[in-house]
Chain A
Amino acid sequence: GQQVMQIPQYQHVQEGEDFTTYCNSSTTLSNIQWYKQRPGGHPVFLIQLVKSGEVKKQKRLTFQFGEAKKNSSLHITATQTTDVGTYFCAGPRSGYSTLTFGKGTMLLVSP
């Protein structure tokens, strides 16, 4: 079945450093979505990418969708302590509308 893999599983950075998480799918995706889950919270939708090679920015966050629509990345510039949480990518299950989630990258930011 479809698999969505994320690396790294965990990253600890100093405040002000950059952070990147990568997402790879075993199948071509019609779109990819990113979610953030704060400790003790629930996943919150960040963004959806649809087009091959698409790049979108939200303040210090940059999201990219690969040309082959099988991989994606999230880059955070100059991390802040408010960026702490687990970042998940998710893509539609093949032939379905429901999402398959990666296992997430946990980000810890030290002040």
Chain B
Amino acid sequence: KAGVTQTPRYLIKTRGQQVTLSCSPISGHRSVSWYQQTPGQGLQFLFEYFSETQRNKGNFPGRFSGRQFSNSRSEMNVSTLELGDSALYLCASSLNRVNYGYTFGSGTRLTVV
């Protein structure tokens, strides 16, 4: 079966711009979580979506937002980009909210210049 698909794989943006990242979970998986990975901070939780509702949110500013569609696909948006937003953004899907292990996508590498 197809894995978790994240697009685009790479992005270069300028400070102040905004960006939208997309994640298509494994078919049948209803829970999607987003993480930011940087060398210094490791994997930081951004948010979790289940049945089109944001269930949990990490400690990130309001510039970071997301949504989930009825087909479980999810998007995250970062507005007014800062240099510190440069990171690998990972999407993880799981069957439901009881966690039996995440399947991660390959990530979107965002570089802000």
Contacts and interface: CB of A to CB of B under 8 A. Distances in A.
Nearest to B106: A42
Nearest to A100: B45
B98 A97 contact: yes
B61 interface: no
B99 A42 contact: no
B56 A96 contact: yes
Given A98-B48, A99-B45, A101-B42, A31 B99 contact: yes
Contacts of A43: 43, 90, 102, 104
Contacts of A96: 48, 55-56
B25 interface: no
Contacts of B66: none
Interface in A84-111: 88, 90, 92-93, 96-104
B101 interface: yes
A103 B42 contact: yes
The DSSP consensus for interface residues of chain B is strand
Contacts of A92: 99
Given A98-B33, A98-B56, A45 B42 contact: no
A27 interface: no
Interface string B78-110: 000000000000100000011111111111000
Most buried by A among B45, B101, B105: B101
A97 B42 contact: no
Nearest to A95: B56
Contacts of A33: 99, 101-102
Given A42-B106, A42-B107, A45-B103, A97 B97 contact: yes
Interface of A: 31, 33, 35, 41-45, 48, 88, 90, 92-93, 96-104
